[in-house]
């Protein structure tokens, strides 16, 4: 018998416990174990009812995603859960599933096939398959509408968002919440339903609706999915599968579900999203920092600078229940920071994300101050003052004087040298970069920047803390722009060259958004302020390769006062609601300036725009990887997927390059090199892997500079 499943008895109730840590995934042996025990129980006259429960922290979090990788790479056979679930449903003794932690994906599908579902109040249930580019594949698109109705089933299967147990009760997915001991409560519940006729979800139709009632629901769902999940196929596939069940009945619906599931699973989109899932988790593993590295307890945080970033970072910690002291140079700046925080929270309340009580509690955790006295007890300090080295050094020297030994001293700098900042303290081992992305209370990425002397404890603590504050941490090495911005700068530069060669700004942006980017590069510039990149360009001009081509249009726009959204015009013009429209004045200026400079104009295809933009990212990413500033291609992908609006279904720039084929990418980069000069010099690693027929995914340095 499988060791992953245990059978025990509480008098006349059999208890099946799944014991497959950490998340009780449906790995080989788990479904088969359940099947075997159900068959045994069926034959055992002393058993009147069954409880199915997860051991450890959770019920089943879904199929074992590794098995999907095995299947699509031809190394593993097809998983077929459906017949096993039918056997559970056909058991003549009531099967009560007891849910704590998560019942996700295949886990919720198992639960739907049981006759009753009880749960701890803090449990969550969901069909998150779309996050992996697939649809529920074990009857979820068939049974869920029978329990919760078509509209809710569509919502759960297309958003992929889990819901709380209390909501699941309201929807009819869960029958009862059990306070206190879940197993004991489930056993009592099982005795109450023992002897009653079992209820089979697949035989229900009371919540399915008629084709006439459902037609507008499906039409609206498809329209919404096309807009919200632009470019993705699995949300539409999930809707198709649910619709098939409502029209064809359970059995045929399941056949259709299996067909659609396979189409999704073998798609490039699903492979990319599954890569993203594992890459995100892999990023938390640093080769030279063992899992058992001691961590520093972080129970209080102090922040210097209550501007855009500092105030949003304060919210991040308050939301995680960690008290924060926010310091600025003057009262007016502090007041502005607190007003921003209050406004952000008010918006969240308005949108139903937080309750007013929740916000009150969070606000109590944020204090303000004008002096460093309150920093003495802080376990961690995050500096978010203006981006200038002399100021950062001054602040860190002061922090060194006032903070207790053992405190983590972090900087939110986006471009400055961490080692130089650390050198202004007597404890460089305590210094690390914590590069949050704007808006910091929303964006999930946290780029941690390892200085030459950052201690392992400090890095391990920040990695762990990131999870606690709801961020995805990726460790980067200390080079200019770290990983994300180092790649982004040539990407936005190339967008400017495209305009200077004849592409309209809106053509550049729309080629990339059509391809899947959340925003076009020029619109991103307008959003953050064109003056930001302008200052970076000026400050670092001396580091550019001599003789390299320089863009000029954006600099001129800035010098004209066109700074982007904040001034009502930049690459685009903006109305009072900050809606962008193409600006004929920009087109005219570019035409005039280009004529003066004799830059030849030509028609540039969307394909060329995408290639030049995305291949520029890839080429710089290859350099970063080779130089060791990122540990793995997957780390770069995680950064781009979570911080730069790269489409999840393309897996990140390095994964995308692998799917295109590195030889093809390399050849195109060489072509651009010939056409556009030295800024397109192919990265040696790209050349090497392309010539060896390898992939970025095959490449992992033993320890890169991110692990110096």
Active-site residue set:
109, 129
For the bound state, the minimum distance from the C-beta of residue 266 to ligand NAD, rounded and expressed in Å, comes to 39
The answer to whether 653 and 689 are in contact (CB under 8 A) is no
Tell me whether residue 372 or residue 672 sits nearer to ligand NAD (CB atom): 372
Binding mask 480-499 for ligand ZOZ (x = CB under 6 A): --------------------
Greatest distance between any 2 Cα atoms in the chain? 94
From CA 500, how far away is CA 183, in angstroms rounded? Answer: 68
Q: What is the DSSP string of 41-70?
A: HHH-TT--EEEEEESTT-S---B-HHHHHH
β 49-54/5-10 pair status:
unpaired
Q: Which window, 64-72, 170-178, 473-481, 673-681, contacts ligand ZOZ (CB under 6 A)?
A: 64-72
Burial tier of 27 (Cβ tally within 10 Å: 0-12, 13-18, 19+): middle
Residue 564, contacted partner among ligand ZOZ, ligand NAD, none, CB below 5-8 A by kind: none
Which tokens in the block code for residue 526?
């307008």
Residue 104 in the binding site for ligand ZOZ (CB under 6 A) = yes
The tokens for 360 are: 């009150």
Residue 506: both structure tokens together: 């809106």
Considering only 30, 34, 59, 64, the residue that binds ligand ZOZ (CB under 6 A) is: 64
Q: Report the distance separating Cα 327 and Cα 372, nearest Å.
A: 8
Counting residues that bind ligand ZOZ (by CB under 6 A) gives: 28
We find the least distance from the C-beta atom of residue 62 to ligand ZOZ, in angstroms, to be 2
Residue 329 lies near ligand NAD (rule: CB under 6 A)? yes
Q: Does 645 bind ligand NAD (CB under 6 A)?
A: no
Stretch binding ligand NAD (CB under 6 A), from 235-243, 400-408, 430-438, 519-527: 430-438
Residues 353-392 that bind ligand ZOZ (CB under 6 A): none
Rank residues 474 and 533 by Cβ distance to ligand ZOZ and give the closer one: 474
Among 81, 171, 399, 631, binds ligand ZOZ (CB under 6 A): 81
Strands of the sheet with 163-164, listed across from one edge: 102-104, 124-126, 163-164
Instruction: Choose from ligand ZOZ, ligand NAD, none: what does 580 bind? Cβ within 5-8 Å by kind.
Output: none
**102 vs 619, beta carbon nearer ligand ZOZ:** 102
CB of 446 closer than 8 Å to CB of 466 = yes
| Peptide bond preceding 439 in cis form (omega within 30 of 0) | yes
The sign one gets for the Cα dihedral 336, 342, 345, 347 is negative
- 210 CB burial (10 A radius; 0-12, 13-18, 19+): exposed
How near is the Cβ of 67 to ligand ZOZ at its closest, in Å?
8
| Distance, CA of 618 to CA of 625 (rounded, Å) | 10
User: Applying CB under 6 A, which of residues 111, 395, 418, 462 lies at the interface with ligand NAD?
Assistant: 395
Cβ atoms within 10 Å of 534's Cβ, excluding its own: 17
Q: How far is CA 43 from CA 29, 46, 89, 93, in A?
A: 21, 9, 16, 10
Relative to beta strand 445-450, strand 431-436 is antiparallel
By CB under 6 A, name the one of 31, 54, 62, 621 that touches ligand ZOZ: 62
Q: Does residue number 384 form part of the binding site for ligand NAD (CB under 6 A)? A: yes
Asked whether 609 and 498 are in contact (CB, 8 A), the reply is yes
Stretch binding ligand NAD (CB under 6 A), from 22-30, 195-203, 276-284, 307-315: 307-315
Is 84 a residue that touches ligand ZOZ (CB under 6 A)? no
- The footprint of ligand NAD on this chain (CB under 6 A) covers a number of residues equal to 24
The one among 59, 218, 261, 396 contacting ligand ZOZ by CB under 6 A: 261
The one among 30, 165, 237, 304 contacting ligand NAD by CB under 6 A: 304
Strands 13-18, 472-477: pairing is unpaired
* Residues near 202 by beta carbon (within 8 Å), at least 6 away in sequence: 86, 89, 113, 139, 142, 143, 146, 250
x/- mask, ligand NAD, residues 331-370, rule CB under 6 A, reads --x-------------------------------------
Query: In terms of CB distance, is 41 or 395 closer to ligand NAD?
Result: 395
The piece of 126-134, 343-351, 631-639, 649-657 that touches ligand ZOZ (CB under 6 A) is 126-134
Give min distance, CB of 409 to ligand NAD, in A. 14
Contacting positions for ligand ZOZ (CB under 6 A): 22-23, 25, 61-66, 78-81, 102, 104-106, 109, 128-129, 131-132, 136-138, 140, 261, 281
Contacting positions for ligand NAD (CB under 6 A): 304-310, 327-329, 333, 384-387, 391, 395, 412-414, 436-438, 528
């Amino acid at each position: 018998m499988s060791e992953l499943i245990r059978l025990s008895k509480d008098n006349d109730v059999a208890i099946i416990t799944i014991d497959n840590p950490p998340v009780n995934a449906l790995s080989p042996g788990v479904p088969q174990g359940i099947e075997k025990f159900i068959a045994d129980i069926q034959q055992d006259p002393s058993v009147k009812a069954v409880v199915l429960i997860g051991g450890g922290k959770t019920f089943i979090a879904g199929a074992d995603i590794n098995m999907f990788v095995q299947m699509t790479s031809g190394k593993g056979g097809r998983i077929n859960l459906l017949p096993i679930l039918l056997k559970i449903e056909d058991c003549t003794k009531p099967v009560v599933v007891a849910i704590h932690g998560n019942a996700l994906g295949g886990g919720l599908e198992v639960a739907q096939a049981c006759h009753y579902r009880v749960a701890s109040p803090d449990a969550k249930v969901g069909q998150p398959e779309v996050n992996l580019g697939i649809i529920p594949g074990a009857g979820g698109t068939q049974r869920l509408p029978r329990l919760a109705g078509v509209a809710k089933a569509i919502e759960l299967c297309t958003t992929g968002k889990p819901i709380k147990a209390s909501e699941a009760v309201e929807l009819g997915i869960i029958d009862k919440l059990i306070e206190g001991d879940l197993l004991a409560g489930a056993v009592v519940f099982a005795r109450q339903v023992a002897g009653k006729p079992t209820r089979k979800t697949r035989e229900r139709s009371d919540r399915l609706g008629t084709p006439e009632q459902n037609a507008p629901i499906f039409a609206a769902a498809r329209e919404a999915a096309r807009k919200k999940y632009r470019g993705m196929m699995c949300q539409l596939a999930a809707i198709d599968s649910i619709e098939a069940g409502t029209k064809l009945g359970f059995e045929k619906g399941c056949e259709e579900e299996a067909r659609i599931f396979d189409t999704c699973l073998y798609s490039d989109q699903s492979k990319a999203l599954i890569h993203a899932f594992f890459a995100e988790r892999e990023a938390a593993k640093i080769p030279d920092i063992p899992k058992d590295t001691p961590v520093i307890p972080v129970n209080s945080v102090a922040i210097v600078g209550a501007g855009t970033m500092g105030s949003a970072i304060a919210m991040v910690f308050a939301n995680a229940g960690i008290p924060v002291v926010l310091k600025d140079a003057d009262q007016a700046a502090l007041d502005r920071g607190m007003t921003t925080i209050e406004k952000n929270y008010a918006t969240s309340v308005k949108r139903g994300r937080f309750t007013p009580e929740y916000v009150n509690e969070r606000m109590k955790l944020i204090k303000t101050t004008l002096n460093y006295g309150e920093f003495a007890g802080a376990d961690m300090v995050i500096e978010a003052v203006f981006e200038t080295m002399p100021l950062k050094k001054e602040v860190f020297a002061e922090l060194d004087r006032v903070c207790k030994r053992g405190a983590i001293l972090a900087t939110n700098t986006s471009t400055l040298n961490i080692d130089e900042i650390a050198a202004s303290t007597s404890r460089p081992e305590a210094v690390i970069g914590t590069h949050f992305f704007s808006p910091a209370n929303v964006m999930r990425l946290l780029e941690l920047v390892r200085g030459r002397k950052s201690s392992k404890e400090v890095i391990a603590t920040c990695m762990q803390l990131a999870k606690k504050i709801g961020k995805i941490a990726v460790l980067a090495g200390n080079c200019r722009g770290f990983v994300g911005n180092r790649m982004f700068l040539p990407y936005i530069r190339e967008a400017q060259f495209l305009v200077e060669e004849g592409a309209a700004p809106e053509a550049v942006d729309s080629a990339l958004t059509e391809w899947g980017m959340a925003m076009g590069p020029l619109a991103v510039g307008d959003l953050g302020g064109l003056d930001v990149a302008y200052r970076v360009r000026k400050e670092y001009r001396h580091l550019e390769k001599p003789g390299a081509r320089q863009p000029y249009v954006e600099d001129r726009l800035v010098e004209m006062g066109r700074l982007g959204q904040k001034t009502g015009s930049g690459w685009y013009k903006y109305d009072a609601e900050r809606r962008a429209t193409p600006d004929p004045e920009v087109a005219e200026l570019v035409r005039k300036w280009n004529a003066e400079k004799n830059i030849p104009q030509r028609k540039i295809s969307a394909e060329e725009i995408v290639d030049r933009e995305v291949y520029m990212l890839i080429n710089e990413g290859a350099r970063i990887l080779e130089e060791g500033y990122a540990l793995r291609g997957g780390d770069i992908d995680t950064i781009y997927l979570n911080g730069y609006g790269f489409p999840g279904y393309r897996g990140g720039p390095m994964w995308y390059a692998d799917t295109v084929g590195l030889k093809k990418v390399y050849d195109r980069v060489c072509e651009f090199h010939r056409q556009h000069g030295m800024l397109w010099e192919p990265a040696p690693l790209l050349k090497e892997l392309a010539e060896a027929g390898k992939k970025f995914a095959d490449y992992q340095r033993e320890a890169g500079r991110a692990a110096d």
